[in-house]
Structure 1
Amino acid sequence: MDTLFTPEQIAQYHRDGYIIVKNLVSQPETALLYKTALEDDAMRKNALDLNDQSGKKTKLSLWFTPGNDVFGYLTRSEKLVGRAAQLMDSDAPVCHFHSKLMQKEPRVGGAWEWHQDYGYWYKNQFMFPDQLLSIMVALTAANKENGCLQVIKGSHKLGRVNHGFAGEQVGADMVMVNNALKTMELVYVELEPGDALFFHSNILHRSEANLSDHPRWSVISCYCSQSNLAYNETSTSWKEAVQIVPDDAILQWKAASLSEADFLKKENDPALKDTGWEQ
């Protein structure tokens, strides 16, 4: 099946903490996703603004249960779920934790500070970081000019790094980040629309502010194994097996509105609360 990774690609993911798949999402699919992101009113109404350390705003819309909208069809597609299953350290069914639309507008889109996703999700008390991963699909071109994602190759092998607040975001301990940068390779993840980045929950990554004249939009779907318990998470999709749909659903199936999605409210995000228990 062309929806699956080869053994060599799986080994590359475990070595580097990430892998890029070119043209995983077709150009017509990507165009439809981007058009929906721009036009669906629910995305705009449910967008969260998070300040970086300089005060610039980065914007995202985050929802939990993958529905019957075009983004739900992407998240539930064979080509994403099948590959996610191959990369996680579990034979249990794949579940969907959440998806988010990242919106970096020209000249004003803020930075994301250095962090690990598990630096956030540790507060949700997920047990096993090797059973968590994210898949970023570029909806527009991502490059150095417009603040593309940067990763520290192999840094997932450090395990969880302590995190604190950096602006309104949660950022990794910069002593460890700087040590990692001295030791490992910094990679700029430049993507074309439709390219996908699969990355481990513990890989250190960041992105610069978008000071270019071009937007940088992407959708990131975060998956976990059904065997990965989360003791401080009130949503439920993380423990429900994904109802997989065929890859052609994005273009061929009737799509519902995103207004039916269960969006995250900023005040309910445990990652943005200083709970104290994990220090």
Structure 2
Amino acid sequence: MSSITLTQEQVSLYHKQGYIIVKSFCTKPEIEKLYTTAINDNAMRNNALDLNDQSGKKTKLSLWFTPGNDVFGYLTRSEKMVAAVQLLLGNDAKVCHYHSKLMQKEPKVGGAWEWHQDYGYWYKNQFMFPDQLISVMVALTPANKENGCLQVIKDSHKIGRVNHGFAGEQVGADMQMVNNALKTMELVYAELEPGDALFFHSNLLHRSEANLSDHPRWSIISCYSLQSNLAYNETSTAWKTPVDVIPDEAILHWDAASLSNADFLKKENDPALKETGWEQEVNQ
């Protein structure tokens, strides 16, 4: 059985404010193994995408779709992860893994992420039901104000999807609506210790500052959908394939393959980075 079980209070809080933080979701040995793999596995570096923010600073990420038999696949397929996602999405449909990404914000040079909703990206993949999409960020290093931790606008998932346009090479939310949200709702700095997990709704407005500190900020973000959700412009098949759930102990104790076998996203294949016409409607 999973050692992590969400309470009904946590589930209710997720629906109320659009996110929850679960402390020590991963153990220290699990995080050490994940972070060591992230640094040493060449597949991560070879498949990293550089995305410029509006100032030209770069944020690196490596994104893959199918969770495999590597240590990150074991985390995304773990019983504790899938059970938590199932509880928060609250539907009888099976949990599917849409994609995971390793976020790599290096000291002094790691760029910002502009205000956005994840569904601002995934709308272009034509997912039908944003309430059936969720992101889970697990901190591999400390995440704090100094190194550009995630900022969220509490309750902003209740706004629904706002218009998005390009902000640098990223997709950013209409700043008029963001500013309205900031005047109406609470800005929260989601500071995390290694192993803490942030679960957040696909329509929660969030951003992060550039990393101007002397310390890296690395995290793994796994995104999930329910099999009852439909995507009409998504070429991968992971989004509609139920997760093959495995015991939590796999993260530490099972033999792990290299990430070189993963189906990484290529920048030119991402629909979210292509013009569709409606981007011009927003105010940046």
TM-score tier after normalising by the smaller chain length: over 0.9
Structure 1: distance between partners of 2:52 and 2:226 = 31
Q: Is the 8 A contact 2:4 2:25 kept in 1?
A: no
Structure 2: distance between partners of 1:62 and 1:256 = 17
Structure 2 counterpart SS, 1:3? coil
Equivalence map 1:116-127=2 (5 Å):
116-127=117-128
Residue 110 of structure 1: how far off its partner (Å): 0.1
Task: Supply the AA of the counterpart residue of 1:8.
Answer: E
Does residue 1:275 correspond to 2:276, yes or no? yes
In the other structure, the counterpart of 1:182 is 183
Structure 2: distance between partners of 1:43 and 1:10 = 33
RMSD, aligned α-carbons: 1.0
Structure 2: distance between partners of 1:127 and 1:219 = 25
In the other structure, the counterpart of 1:31 is 32
Tell me the matched-pair count.
279
In the other structure, the counterpart of 2:20 is 19
Structure 1: distance between partners of 2:99 and 2:90 = 19
Q: Is the 8 A contact 1:165 1:171 kept in 2?
A: yes
* CA gap 1:277/1:173 in 2 versus in 1, 3 angstroms: closer
Structure 1: distance between partners of 2:48 and 2:72 = 15
Residue 277 of structure 1: how far off its partner (Å): 6.7
Structure 1: distance between partners of 2:103 and 2:58 = 12
Does residue 1:239 correspond to 2:228, yes or no? no
Equivalence map 1:119-268=2 (5 Å):
119-268=120-269
Residue 90 of structure 1: how far off its partner (Å): 2.2
In the other structure, the counterpart of 1:4 is 5
State the TM-score, normalized to the length of structure 2: 0.97
Residue 5 of structure 1: how far off its partner (Å): 1.3
Residue 147 of structure 1: how far off its partner (Å): 0.2
Structure 1: distance between partners of 2:200 and 2:79 = 18
Structure 2 counterpart SS, 1:197? strand
Structure 2: distance between partners of 1:90 and 1:225 = 8
Deviation string for 1:232-277 (max 9, x for gaps)? 0000000000000100101110000000000000000000001237
Deviation string for 1:26-58 (max 9, x for gaps)? 000000000000000000000000000000000
In the other structure, the counterpart of 2:86 is 85
Structure 1 counterpart SS, 2:101? strand
Q: Is the 8 A contact 1:89 1:130 kept in 2?
A: no
State the TM-score, normalized to the length of structure 1: 0.98
Structure 2: distance between partners of 1:75 and 1:83 = 11
In the other structure, the counterpart of 1:61 is 62
Structure 2: distance between partners of 1:2 and 1:204 = 30
Task: Supply the AA of the counterpart residue of 1:250.
Answer: I
> Tell me, which stretches of 5 or more residues in structure 1 are unaligned?
none
Q: Identity rate of aligned residues, in percent?
A: 79
In the other structure, the counterpart of 2:103 is 102
